[in-house]
Amino acid sequence: VDAVDVLILDEADRLLEMGFFDEVEQIVQGCPKNRQTMLFSATMTEAVDRLIQLSLKHPVRISVENKFAVATGLEQEFIRLRPKREGDREAVLCALCTRTFKEKTIVFF
């Protein structure tokens, strides 16, 4: 983790609800101090606030009022692999990203 430029903590509230605070803390502390960190959470609990204090230097909070709001311009893609092709997952993902996206892309697993 010492070469991480961007650390993304998605579903932070869920991670903490499942008891992964210590593991997340260990990952955060192992990353370079000059990284960019993005933390996403559906709810703002005390545990999420603790994680914010641990992992973010100058946090900016963005709230979405309408819980049914959809991001405009968001493009989602998926490919279903046959069971016998599971071993090709990374190669298929790289090929898809290379052919489809000319700009920066975030991939969530």
**Is residue 53 helix, strand or coil?**
helix
**In 3D, which of 89, 87, 95 has the Cα closest to residue 109?**
89
Express each pLDDT in 28-74 by its tens digit.
999 999 999 999 998 889 999 999 999 999 999 888 776 666 667 77
Interatomic CA distance for residues 17 and 74, integer angstroms = 28
Summarize pLDDT for 85-99 with one digit per residue, the tens: 888 888 988 888 888
Q: Tokens in use for 47?
A: 């545990």
Question: CA 29, CA 108: separation in Å to the nearest integer?
Answer: 22
Say whether pTM exceeds 0.75. Answer: no
